[in-house]
């Protein structure tokens, strides 16, 4: 692993022409479904187009390796000057230069619990980063009696000749209750245009904690909404509900590892892991219940039904879209750049199980087409972000992880 600035990245740069979609369904004509494998369940979708969207025509693009030598990177956050912040699961955060050189680990971060699905997870810039230099990050915090998803912020400081560091570090949010487990931390951080911070959490996977996704006295299995200083917005939906935690925005979620704001709106979209089938795309609205673990389009890993084996119940929201078999979704990004005009408005989602990047075309909230990119690389895609240059940047969840750039072929869009 490279541990200092100035190491040349050119040796790691590859230029790959990618003009095909994923192997399954890549040859399908437009109008045929992209997914052709048998589903795990026999559940019928609630409405046409809720699953197995038509295959989109294959996109034309180039892939470059910006940086190699990352150890299980979890998130990438582009900076305005062409650099990137990247988190590594073991507890390191690095600055990556535009030419791919890795900084020493950022100093001043708190300890993490890296076991299982824990570690140092998401990172996001303050909406006023240019003025205040603040960054926000989520992590599995070791606590007495177990651990839990925690969000901290600090000021990123760079001094010539020294490792970058964070100062004035302060925890602004802790998921409760603490639990002694190692799965389903959620952990995506998304700032809305109004300056509010959305935080996603999982229900910690185990049957013992799953019911808490439906309980307002627990943060588990929820989306939270807070102010940047950690205080609770006065217009949150459960602020005046007795016994409810006031930070809760939406409930009934399994393990949300992807979240993004749709351009031109204040609307949050999320993607969450299902069990065997039932990965879901949702648009969490204030106070709404998204059903886990009462309704699901998946099965338990044992093959048994989830709960009573139902997919709908009054008072619970349907997913906008679901996958069966699963893609194991992670980071997501709405595209609104100029580099790929044909992709404007499309939603990109990292896929870890099938090792690809999913592109969805939406008409309103209806998914009308799907394409799978990067399937030829065979890498688990952990996060995807749009850079200031209009290119897409992804990190691969591998021991020898990479930061990749997706850009147009010359003369193409």
Scan for tokens 């692993």, then name that residue: 1
Phi then psi for residue 274, to 5 deg, are -90, 180
Q: Of 184, 219, 273, 372, which is the active-site residue?
A: 184
Contacts for 245 with CB less than 8 Å, ≥ 6 apart: 176, 216, 217, 218, 219, 238
Strand pairing of 146-157 and 329-334?
unpaired
Under DSSP, is residue 81 helix (H, G, I), strand (E, B) or coil?
Answer: coil
Contacts for 348 with CB less than 8 Å, ≥ 6 apart: 332, 333, 334, 335, 357, 358, 359, 360, 384, 392
Two tokens at 339?
Answer: 């580099």
- d(CA 275, CA 142) in angstroms, rounded, equals 26
32 neighbors 25 (Cβ within 8 angstroms): yes
- d(CA 404, CA 402) in angstroms, rounded, equals 6
238 neighbors 216 (Cβ within 8 angstroms): yes
122 neighbors 139 (Cβ within 8 angstroms): no
- d(CA 378, CA 359) in angstroms, rounded, equals 17
Query: How many residues are listed for the chain in this entry?
Result: 413
Q: Among this protein's residues, is 184 annotated catalytic?
A: yes
322 neighbors 50 (Cβ within 8 angstroms): yes
Q: Which residues are catalytic?
A: 184
């Amino acid at each position: 692993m490279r541990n200092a600035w100035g190491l040349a990245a050119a040796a790691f740069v590859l230029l790959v022409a990618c003009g095909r979609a994923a192997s399954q369904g890549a040859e399908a004509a437009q109008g045929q479904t992209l997914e052709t494998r048998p589903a795990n369940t026999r559940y019928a979708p609630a409405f046409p187009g809720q699953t197995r969207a038509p295959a989109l025509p294959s996109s034309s693009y180039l892939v470059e390796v910006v940086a190699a030598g990352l150890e299980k990177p979890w998130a990438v956050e582009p900076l305005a000057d062409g650099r990137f912040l990247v988190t590594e699961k073991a507890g390191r955060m690095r600055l990556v230069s535009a030419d791919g050189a890795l900084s020493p680990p950022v100093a001043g971060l708190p300890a993490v619990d890296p076991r299982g699905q824990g570690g140092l997870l998401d990172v996001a810039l303050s909406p006023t980063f240019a003025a205040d230099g603040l960054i926000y990050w989520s992590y599995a915090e070791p606590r007495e009696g177990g651990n839990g998803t925690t969000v901290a912020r600090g000021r990123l400081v760079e001094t010539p000749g020294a490792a970058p560091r964070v100062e004035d570090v302060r925890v602004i949010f802790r998921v409760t209750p603490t639990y002694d487990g190692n799965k389903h931390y959620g952990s995506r951080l998304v700032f809305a245009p109004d300056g509010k911070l959305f935080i996603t959490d999982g229900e910690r996977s185990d049957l013992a904690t799953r019911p808490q996704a439906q309980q307002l006295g627990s943060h588990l299995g929820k989306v939270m909404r807070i102010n940047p200083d950690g205080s609770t917005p006065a217009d949150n939906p459960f602020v005046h509900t007795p016994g409810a935690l006031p930070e809760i925005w939406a409930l009934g979620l399994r393990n949300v590892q992807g979240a993004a704001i749709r351009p031109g709106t204040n609307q949050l979209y999320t993607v969450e892991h299902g069990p065997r089938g039932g990965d879901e795309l949702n648009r969490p609205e204030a106070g709404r219940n998204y059903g886990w673990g009462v309704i699901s389009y998946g099965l338990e890993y044992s093959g048994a039904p989830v709960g009573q084996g139902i997919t709908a119940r009054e008072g619970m929201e349907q997913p906008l879209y679901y996958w069966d078999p699963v893609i194991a979704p992670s980071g997501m990004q709405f595209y609104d750049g100029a580099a790929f005009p044909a992709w404007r408005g499309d939603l990109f989602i990292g896929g870890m199980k099938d090792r690809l990047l999913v592109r969805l075309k939406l008409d309103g909230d209806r998914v009308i087409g799907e394409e799978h990119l990067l399937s030829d690389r065979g890498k688990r895609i952990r996060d995807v972000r749009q850079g200031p240059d209009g290119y897409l940047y992804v990190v691969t969840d591998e021991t020898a992880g990479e930061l990749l750039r997706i850009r147009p072929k010359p003369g193409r869009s």
